[in-house]
Amino acid sequence: MNAQGFDEATIESVHEGYRTGALTCSRLVEFYLHRVKRLDLRTDGRPPLNSIVSIAPDVRERAASCDREMAAGGVSKPLQGIPVWVKDNIAVAGLASSAGLLDFADAVAHEDAALVSSLRRAGAVIMGTTAMTGLGMGTDGWGSRFGRAGNVYDTREDPGGSSNGPAIAISANFGMVAVGVDDCCSIIMPAALNGAVGLRPSVGLVPREGVVLATVDTSPGPITRTIEDLGRVLEVMAVPGSGRESVSGRVPGRKVGVLVRAGNEDFKVPEGMRAPFEQALRDLEALGATVVPGVHLKGVRMLRLSPIAYHNAMVLHLKARSAPPNSMRELFKLGLLAPGALRDIGRAPVAALWPNVRLPDVFASWYRRIIRENQQALAREMDQQGLDALVFLSLPPHSTLSTVTQAPQLTVPAGTFLNPGTGAQLPVGLSFLGRQWDEATLLGIARAYESWTRHRRPPELRDESGSEEPLDIAQFSAVKLAVAHRVRDTMRLRGPKDAPLSVEEFTAAVDGVKKELGYRY
């Protein structure tokens, strides 16, 4: 496998390279590190991708150790030598789990999250952590720990949130696998907007121990470039005995319902996405599926987790810290955490009065009942019509359904649409939603659709000649941290009612830091 062959590489193609001796894990990791160096902070007059938060200092040693293992025993593990990035709110021993906030840059994890331990046991090489919307609050590309992340197809565009870093890193070929965390559309939207494959699994299928601020809605899941790779990673991360079956790949005889309404929520198709969506339905029929139009899920309530539950999770997290901020009041007093939803909360009067104690969650039992009733309504409708899956566009309001039913949702590339406001051509994501614990059916349908349509379009990133020196991980980390401080300092100089930094201002801040620190790419 030559250097060019690393782009769009799959687990199977890499393992074949390992078996034949044409490739080593060290060489593959070095390729990805060099690509991060050349592309993650490149501007050329536009904002950078800025998808990486931190790189594991021992990643090269881990790769070398993997090479020694394979020299002695061959490829014996399902993810042996596979580079993996994880979202910034997933604990990786020795790295900060900052949840996108500069204020938490000191929160170094002492041990791996449960899912990271599973990945390591399967032979994966953890590359580091990636960007996310600050505290996972909102769907924009901002987090004070790194600044702003840019869409991989046009960095002026939003990349979706909150798992934007994992989706950008995978689509940009900075690694092979990434892990995001989804509370509501947090995996689905970034994967869709960045031309990747993403899965929000059934809640409980992938353990959430070691995920910062995890609640009853939280479901970690994989982001990859292909359905085949996604299925392999899911098998590794899934809790043993959780009910996941192997991927069948069957489509003939499957019945797929086109969801038009869930409860009081209309699943509208934006005009610019109508053509690719209708083509997707025709493609499913061509694959042998029966497409059932006009499905309405009656009895579903699209109501989310109570704010009290999130407040209690925040209080517990802050109180466990060994340094400030230790309370909600201190956190928001620091001010200007990031643009978007988090910044708006910091301005609200309640932020100054926020109690630093857990509150009785009087809505907890009510929310659990809503989830049970929603699950029953989903199963009832699918059983009555004999449906194997529901299909709809990967859009934020639509993705609430998987949250309130705790059912799996998978997004796969399905063409492109034109953003009329900017003229950017961006990917369309097609979502499949199924019964709880029935990921196998979704993966099978999506894999057949992916193989038939091949809509995944690698981004055209300008990787021009530059420094051939290996990436200096310490310097890269220093640049990232300096960018975060520069952005915060710049925002502090603005009035509290001013708009967030423009993409042009952010780009200028990044260029200034790179010049000052002598960052060569």
What are the residue ranges of CATH 3.40.190 in the chain? 255-303+364-453
- Rounded CA gap, 496 and 481, in Å? 23
pLDDT of residue 248: 47
Q: Summarize pLDDT for 123-182 with one digit per residue, the tens.
A: 999 999 999 998 888 888 989 899 999 999 999 999 998 999 999 999 999 999 999 999
> What Å distances lie between residue 449 and 195, 282, 415, 454, CA to CA?
15, 11, 12, 8
The per-residue DSSP string of 414-455 comes to: EEEEE-TTT--EEEEEEEEE-STT-HHHHHHHHHHHHHHH--
pLDDT tens per residue, range 191-240: 999 999 999 999 999 999 999 999 999 999 999 999 999 999 999 999 88
pLDDT above 60: residue 337 = no
pLDDT digits (tens, 9 = 90+) for 261-293: 999 999 999 999 999 999 999 999 999 999 999
Q: Rounded to the nearest 5 degrees, what angle is found at the Cα of 216, between the Cα atoms of 321 and 238?
A: 95
Question: For the segment 343-366, what is each residue's pLDDT rounded down to a tens digit?
Answer: 556 555 555 567 788 888 888 999
Alpha carbon of 2 to those of 14, 70, 77: distances in Å?
11, 20, 23
- Residue of 98, 162, 219, 306 marked catalytic: 162
Residue 162 annotated to the active site = yes
* Active-site hit among 87, 98, 219, 399: 87
**What does the pLDDT read at residue 367?**
93
* 230-260: pLDDT as tens digits: 999 999 999 886 544 444 455 778 999 999 9
Q: Pairing between strand 142-143 and 83-87?
A: unpaired
Mean local confidence (pLDDT), 448-460: 96
Check pLDDT > 50 for residue 1: no
Q: CB neighbours of 85 closer than 8 A, spacing ≥ 6?
A: 52, 126, 127, 128, 129, 130, 165, 166, 169, 170, 174, 175, 177, 178, 179
Domain covering 255-303+364-453: architecture: 3-Layer(aba) Sandwich (3.40)
Q: pLDDT per residue over 86-107, tens digit each? A: 999 999 999 999 999 998 999 9
* Residue range(s) of every CATH 3.90.1300.10 domain in the chain: 10-237
What is the CATH architecture of 10-237?
Alpha-Beta Complex (3.90)
Catalytic residue list contains 186 = yes
